[in-house]
Structure formats: structure tokens, C-alpha cells
Amino acid sequence: PHVIVSRTPLDPPTATQFLNQYLTHLNALPPDEAVIAASKDIWGADTGKYPFRHYGFAGMGPEERQEYAASIYEKEVADAIHEFETKNFPASLVHIEHALALIEYAHKRQDFKQLITLAVETTFEVSDYKNGIFFQQKLLDALTPETAASERAEAEYRLGILHSRLEHFDTAVKHLELANRIWQEGEELDRLAEGMATLGVVRENMGAYTAALEQFNQSFSLYREIGEMGHTAFQYRRIGRIYYLRLGRYEKARENFLAALELYRQQGDPQGEAEVLYEVGLTFEKVGLFDQAAERYQQALSIAKELDDPMLLATGDLYLANVAWFQGNYQTAFQLLSQADKKAEQANDAQLRIMVKNTRGLIYWTLNDTDKGLLHLHDAVTLSRSSNIQTELASSLNNLGLIYRQQGDHATALDNFQQAKALYESLKSQWGLGYDHRNIGISLLALERLEEAETHFLKAEQISSDIHNVINWVKALLELGNVNKALARPDQALGYYERAHELSQRYGIKEVEWRAAAGKAALLREQGKLPEALTWLTKGVEVVEGMRAALKIDELRNSFQTNKLDLYGDIISLLITMNRTDDAFNFLERSRSRSFIDLLGNQKLSFKNEGDQETWNRINTLSSTLTSLKSELGSYDKPPADLQERYRTTKIRYEEAILDVKQQNPGLSSFVSVDPLDLKGIQQLLSPKVGLLTYFLTKDQLF
């Protein structure tokens, strides 16, 4: 023990200056010598001016300090290793920090690399990535020009991963690219393959999906070159997920997932097999092939039951709940969601639980019970925040915004969309930003803040075109047409509608294609160009009548200004204005037929006649496959020849199936295509002296 006392009163700044100098010298000197050195720094060589005196234990000598520090150091290192091995990681980290503080005194500098490496491993275990970066940077700074290139690459690689965990994506990419460059120069192909894959993951998280796909393909090629087939299966899945999630190429995604499935089966890996079966199912679900999707989910669920894996079980129940929901089996969907939630809680998987809550909220939304929908979505937001899962938080906030928008509470919707946008900005997700700028624009348009809305639609269009998110790109162009129409800029509006129509036609995005045609028609009608307006409205109707029934949730999410009945209403009222009442009647009957198909939606219908059931299933499968292939063709500038051939073949089979059902089973025809009787046909069915009164109601007129 010792004390340091000033013989005379000192002002606070001088006392503080002395204390700082003293603590600096204490790193290298015993206490009594540190007092003298600090005093000399301030008052010079004249010891008579030194106000501070040291009383008590002068401190250990150099040999004593080393011996004492070494004994404590060895104990701290032993305790750190013991706590790490027993998985008490927080305690292990405390002992490591103590050991690092003593390492110079104990003259154990040779242990620095191993001790820092253990510190980084420990921070990974407790997800303390900020401290992990601190320790890893210390290790990197300690490397010398003589350090082996491979060792420097590993240090850069680890630092890149740590930065990516904190979503410092630009910094992460810099370190990972440097590591990969070193491995490439040293021809360390196994490490380069892993480094490329990791860089792909980071770019994927950034929303740079085309670049991520390129990295995954390079990694895939390297793994195949060195014969690491275990890694190859996972690379197939990574590539498949980008095709599925971001590029809308579901056939290509399925091709990669099936390749991974085959490898997992060859390797005897049931968990990998179950996981990829779920992914194969998702590619079917996305294009409306729900029976095929459910079949894969059930196969995966059987494996999950054998493994007794709660996370796999929860995933299967969640995915089957989605299929039940999309087919209108709401009671089954809710039951499966309850099972999924219990198993996700058992697996301690917060992300799955958030997904369950979001799904439950959206189902209530499609059932028009928005109060219950909001309740579950607010729960999803709360759990996302407490779990610090930023991507799920952004998704949950977006879902809340969609329901508030449908309720007409555009201010609250706008607030939720803006919160989500802020998250996507911090995540550097261009994909998410594109969607949120469009959502914000729609809310501002509803609030009649037209110039602000236009700004966000322009940002959505620019971002989405840059990253080739075609679906959001054409929707943003459509909204730019709408907002310019509201701003009384008909020429600009026409330009945007034409561009939206051209691109949506090229990429097979029918929901936008017919609305762009309708938007252009409305402007032409206002300009008195009635025949041209009729031409464009007819184009829109032809697109609608070639579409399969859309999921209600997709319609709600899009929040388009017009629906199919509006389109028919516009063409009917235009024909009446043009005194073409017979044609108006025919389109009225076609609107009823289309409404019937939409009413059926994607529900799984059961027919008494087995032949009718088979025909219904075949036509729906062909329709969904045709839509999927058309969309996939549009995602390429130069589509592969085999894909073009499959589209042509499927189109022919679909058209033949429709023609066959019209000829052989007219009763079933109305379930699958818009083909009602025209005015003349109906008149021929009426008995003499029997009249038929038909009326048509618009917003402000009765015809």
C-alpha cells in the first residue's frame, strides 16, 4: 500500500495534469519512480519544486514484478481456458482481458497471438462482435512485414466476418476482398473458395444480388475443382436462394435446389435433405403449384419427425400453413401456425416465431379482420425489436403499414413505411429501399402530397432498375404515371404508362400490364380520343382474361388504384358513350365470368366427377407453370434456348387443354376461362314473351 500527497494546495488543472502524467509513467515504472518522472515532466529537474511525495511501499523491483505478474498471468490463462471449455464464455473473456493486461509484465509476448485468437473466438460465442473487432484489429496491427501471407489473409478474413455481423458491409467487403486476393496469389484454392462464398453472403446481405451470384458461382467452381462435394451442395443452395428470392427465376432456383438434394442424399445427410426439400417446395408455392409444394413440405416434415428437430418441424408447419391459407383453408392454416409457434419457441428460434406472427396477422387481414391482424403484427414488431433482428423488424413494419393503408389511415401507414426505410438504409438493402420508396409514395399520393410522392416513386424506379428488381421497377413506373396524371401532366403520364406497359409485357408482369393499358386509355378518353382509348382498354381486358386468379394477399399488398371490375366498368361505359350497347352488354357478361374465376381464387376445389377433377388440376398446373415460365423468360436479356422451348411446349399444351375442355365439358369451362354467351346467344335461349333486364351500376350512373 502507498499514498501520494501534495505538500501544498494545487489548482485542479495542475493536479489533473500531474495525475495523467503519473498514470502514463506507471505503465513502465514502479509508483515511487513514476511520481518523480511525472514531476520532472511538469516542474523540470529541480526536485525542490516537486509538491508531490510518495509514502509507503515503493513497488516491486523489475524481477519481483515479472515473477508476480507471471504467477497471476498463468492463473488467468488457465482460468480462461477452463471457462471456455466449460462454455462459460463471458467469464472466459474476463480472464483473457486480465491476462492481456499482464502479458508485457509477465514477459509472455510470445503468447499474444494465441491469447488474442482465443479472445476473438470467445466474442463470437457470445455475439459480442464489437469487442471481437477490437481484438482482431489488435492482432492484425501486430503483424509484421515478415508475417506469412496466409496468416495475414486469415486475419483479414476474420475481421471482415466480424464487420459483416455488425452490418458494416462496406468495411467487411474491403477486408474479405483483400483476403481473397492473397489466397488467389498464393493459389490456396480451398481458402479462396470459402472466401468467395463468404463475400457472396455479405453482398447478398447488402442487396447486391447479381454480384453475390457471381461470387457464389466462382466459389462453386473452385469447390468442384478441388473435389469438395460437401461444400458443393451448400453452394447449389446459395445460388438457388438468390434465383428464388431476388431474381424471380423459380425454375432455375429449383434446378439448383434439386442438385443439392441429390448430393445430400448421396452423402446421407437427412437434415440437409429436409432443408432443401422445403426450398424446392417454396419454388412450387411461388408459382401457385400448391399441391406440388405441399408434397415436398410433407416429405421434409417426415424427415424432421425422425430427427425430432423442433426447428425443422416448425418450418414445415409454417409452410403448410401458407399453402392452406392460399387455398382458403383458414382453420387448417391457424391450427398449423399454432403448432409452428410452439415448436419455434421450443427451438428458441425468434426469427421463426416472428414469421409465424406476421403470417397470422396477414391471414386475418385477408379475412378483413384488420384489428386482429394489427394485434399480431404489433407482436411481431415487439419480438423483432427485443431479438434485434433488423430484417424481420423492417418486414413487420412494412406489413403494419399495408394494413393501416387499407384502413385509410395513410399517416400511420406512412410512419411505418418510413421506419422500415430507415432500417433498410442502415442495412444497405437496395432491394428493401426500392419497395419502401414505392410504398411511401403510394401513401403520400393518397394524402395528396403529390410532389413528395413523385420524388419517392422516382427513387423507387431508379433503385429498382439499377438492381434489376423488375417487378418493383414496373410498378414504380405505373405509379409515376398515376402521380403525373394527378399533377395534370398528361404527356409525362402517357410516357410512364407506355414504358410500364412495354416492360411489364416483356417481363410477363400482367398485373401491371393491364393497369398501364387502362391508365393510358383513361388519358386518351379525357383527350376525346375514344377509338384509341377503346383499343387500349381492350388490350387490358385481353390480358386480364388470360390471367389466373390472384391470391387475395397479393392484391392487398399491391394496393393498386384500380381493380379488374374498374377495367370492365371503364370499357362498358365507354362503349355506351359510343352507342355500342351490344358490345357493352357482351363485356358486362365477360366481367361476370371473370369475377366468378376470381371468386374461386386459388381454392382447392373438389368435383364429384373424377374426370372433371383431373381436368381441373391439369389446367391449373399448366396455367401456373406457363405464368412462371413467362416471368422467367422475361428475367433474361437473352433467354436460354431450352427455357424458350419449354415455354412454347407448355403454352401449346395449355391452349389445347382449354380448347378440349370447351368442346368436351362446357360446364367445367366456366371455371377456367372467360367464355360467356354473347347477346345473340342469350336472346336465342329466351322463351317467347320472356324478357331479360340487365343493368350496370357505376360510381355515379346507372345504365
| pLDDT value at residue 605 | 56
Cα–Cα dist 303/339, whole Å:
17
Instruction: Please state the CATH superfamily assignment of the domain spanning residues 228-348 in this structure.
Output: Tetratricopeptide repeat domain (1.25.40.10)
| pLDDT higher than threshold 90 for residue 395 | yes
pLDDT band at 552 (very low <50, low <70, confident <90, very high): very low
Is the Cβ–Cβ distance between 140 and 107 less than 8 Å?
A: no
Compute CA distances 552 → 333, 561, 626, 655, whole Å: 15, 15, 20, 26
What is the C-alpha to C-alpha distance for residues 507 and 556, in angstroms, rounded to an integer?
Answer: 22
Cell numbers for 205: 446481405
What is the distance, to the nearest Å, from the Cα of residue 41 to the centroid of all Cα atoms in its chain?
59
**How big is the chain by its Cα radius of gyration, in Å?**
34
User: What is the predicted pLDDT for the residue at 246?
Assistant: 72
Determine the pLDDT at residue 96. 92
Report which of residues 609 and 620 the model is more confident about.
Answer: 620
pLDDT confidence of residue 466: 82
Amino acid, single-letter form, for residue 218: Q
Comparing 175 with 669, the larger pLDDT belongs to 175
Q: Per-residue DSSP letters for 91-132?
A: HHHHHHHHHHHHTTTTT-GGGHHHHHHHHHHHHHHTT-HHHH
Residue 602 has pLDDT above 60, yes or no: no
Please give the Cα distance from 691 to 682 (Å, whole number).
11
Of 11-20, 401-410, 654-663, give the lowest mean pLDDT range. 654-663
Cell numbers for 350: 425468434
- The residue ranking higher by pLDDT, 551 or 598, is 598
**Cell of residue 401, nine digits:** 403499414
The more confidently predicted of residues 673 and 170 is: 170
Angle subtended at Cα 215 by Cα 121 and Cα 118, rounded to the nearest 5 degrees: 5
267-280: per-residue pLDDT in tens? Answer: 999 999 999 999 99
pLDDT tens digits along 63-102 = 766 777 788 888 999 999 999 999 999 999 999 999 988 8
- Cα distance between residue 563 and residue 546, in whole Å: 15
**Cα–Cα dist 26/6, whole Å:** 18
- Phi, psi angle pair for 287, to nearest 5°: -105, 15
Provide CATH code, domain 64-208. Answer: 1.25.40.10
| Range name among 207-211, 542-546, 639-643 with the lowest pLDDT average | 207-211
For the stretch 612-619, contacts whose Cβ atoms lie closer than 8 Å and that sit 24 or more positions apart, written own/partner, are: 612/665, 612/668, 615/657, 615/661, 615/665, 615/668, 616/668, 616/671, 616/672, 617/291, 618/657, 619/654, 619/657, 619/658, 619/661, 619/672
Q: What single-letter amino acid sits at 600?
A: L
With a cut of 60, say whether residue 25 has pLDDT above it: yes
Q: What is the pLDDT of residues 288-316, one digit of tens each?
A: 788 899 999 999 999 999 999 999 999 99
Banded pLDDT at 260 (limits 50, 70, 90):
very high
Contact assessment for residue 54 and residue 35, using Cβ atoms and an 8 Å cutoff: yes
Kindly tell me if the per-residue pLDDT of 676 is higher than 70.
no
Provide the pLDDT for residue 115: 92
Rounded mean pLDDT of 611-619?
A: 72
Structure confidence at residue 674 (pLDDT) = 53
pLDDT for 231 beyond 90: no
Position 675 pLDDT exceeds 70: no
The mean per-residue pLDDT over the stretch 51-68 comes to 73
94-98, 180-184, 348-352, 550-554 — which is least confidently predicted? Answer: 550-554
Q: Do 4 and 35 form a contact (C-beta atoms < 8 A)? A: yes
Region 345-361: mean pLDDT is: 94
- Dig out the grid coordinates for 477 from the structure: 413506373
Say what the pTM is.
0.66
Confidence band of 597 (pLDDT split at 50, 70, 90): low
236-240, 390-394, 440-444, 599-603: lowest mean pLDDT where? 599-603
Q: Which of 97-101, 400-404, 696-700 has the highest mean pLDDT?
A: 400-404
**What pLDDT does 409 receive?**
95
- In this structure, the strands spanning 52-56 and 2-6 are antiparallel
Mean pLDDT in residue range 376-394: 94
DSSP string, 574-589: HHHHTT-HHHHHHHHH
Q: Which residue has the higher pLDDT, 198 or 561?
A: 198
For range 105-116, the mean pLDDT = 87
Rounded Cα gap, residues 333 and 326, in angstroms: 9
**Which three cell numbers mark 271?**
437434415
Residues 674-682, mean pLDDT to the nearest whole number: 69
Average pLDDT of span 634-646: 77
Q: Is 687 helix (H, G, I), strand (E, B) or coil?
A: coil
| Average pLDDT rounded to a whole number, residues 250-277 | 93
Per-residue model confidence (pLDDT) at position 593: 73
- Write the pLDDT tens digit of every residue in 469-496: 788 899 999 999 999 999 999 999 999 9
182-205 confidence digits (pLDDT tens): 999 999 999 999 899 889 888 887
Give me the chain's average pLDDT, please. 86
Residue 551: predicted pLDDT: 43
pLDDT at position 648: 85
Q: How confident is the model at residue 443 (pLDDT cuts 50, 70, 90)?
A: very high
The phi, psi pair for 88, rounded to 5°, reads -95, 75
Q: Taking a C-beta distance cutoff of 8 angstroms, is the pair 159, 140 a contact? A: yes
